[in-house]
């Protein structure tokens, strides 16, 4: 089926089904999901979509802008709009304390990282509070762009007390491998998840449009003996992850 055939309004547009631009946005999104519009392919020009759908160019422009705001479409000045390259969504269970490298290996994906920051630093106010440090202490900090099969997936900012990670340069691939080798791997964690709009600098790293949906996760991890081992602030692409939690009926 061609894009023009799929956008024929007789198959999807209903006057009583909500704003026109929302209906067009949904139809274009469905075209991506069905493979009619493929990653990297150009959208038809606004004028062509308006002609096919019998909608105004203002309505078409609003639908495309909405897709761009969510990261589904990339707008290139002078070149038009293109379907973004999106990784397949990964389903991540919240009941398991694993590293990014372990998660990707279990799914048959090749994980890699781009270092953004690594070393010993004076702690920030958030790190002092989360890790129980004083302002005179040092903190081991590693910040990485995490990739799966070459696709950017998340920005991970991990902070650890120096008695847990005295040498951040020892971490070459998996942080948890280094901690396990030294007998300091966390065994439990508390996580807080919130939805955010990704800022311009982080969006450039994650290859999404500024303002696209993201998931912010703050995790505080603990050793078996009780002390805090790690404070991590991660930013995940909203189009790349589904986080799943299993709930059970509590017995009174």
67-100 pLDDT per residue, tens: 887 677 888 877 888 887 665 556 566 656 666 7
121-137 pLDDT per residue, tens: 999 999 999 999 999 99
* Residue 130 domain-assigned (yes or no): yes
| Domain enclosing residue 34, as ranges | 3-83
Residue scoring higher pLDDT (149 or 194): 194
CA-to-CA distance for 234 and 193, rounded, in angstroms?
10
Average pLDDT of the chain to the nearest whole number = 85
| 96 and 77 fall within a common domain | no
| 163 and 117 fall within a common domain | yes
Cβ atoms 124, 153 nearer than 8 A: no
| 201 and 97 fall within a common domain | yes
* Residue 29 domain-assigned (yes or no): yes
- Can you tell me the mean pLDDT for 187-200? 90
Q: Read off the tokens for 90.
A: 């990964």
What does the pLDDT read at residue 239? Answer: 74
Cα 174 to chain centroid, rounded: 19
What does the pLDDT read at residue 40? Answer: 81
What does the pLDDT read at residue 86? Answer: 63
Phi, psi at residue 226, to the nearest 5°? Answer: 120, -35
């Amino acid at each position: 089926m061609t894009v023009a055939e799929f956008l024929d309004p007789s198959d999807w547009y209903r006057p009583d089904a909500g704003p026109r631009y929302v209906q067009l946005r949904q139809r274009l999104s469905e075209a991506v999901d069905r493979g009619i519009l493929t990653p990297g392919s150009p959208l038809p020009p606004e004028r062509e979509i308006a002609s096919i759908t019998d909608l105004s160019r203002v309505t078409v422009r609003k639908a495309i802008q909405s897709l761009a705001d969510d990261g589904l479409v990339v707008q290139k000045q002078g070149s038009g709009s293109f379907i973004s390259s999106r990784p397949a969504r990964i389903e991540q269970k919240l009941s398991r304390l694993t590293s990014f490298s372990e998660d990707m290996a279990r799914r048959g994906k090749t994980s890699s990282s781009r270092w953004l920051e690594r070393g010993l630093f004076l702690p920030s106010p958030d790190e002092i509070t989360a890790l129980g440090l004083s302002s005179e202490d040092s903190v081991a900090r590693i910040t990485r762009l995490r990739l799966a099969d070459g696709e950017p997936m998340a920005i991970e900012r991990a902070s650890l007390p120096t008695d847990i990670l005295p040498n951040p340069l020892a971490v070459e691939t998996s942080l948890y491998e280094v901690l396990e080798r030294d007998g300091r791997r966390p065994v439990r964690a508390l996580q807080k998840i919130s939805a955010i709009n990704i800022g311009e600098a982080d969006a450039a790293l994650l290859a999404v449009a500024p303002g696209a949906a993201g998931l912010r996760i703050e995790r505080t991890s603990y050793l078996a003996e009780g002390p805090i081992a790690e404070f991590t602030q991660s930013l995940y692409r909203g189009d790349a992850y589904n986080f799943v939690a299993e709930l059970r009926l509590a017995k009174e």
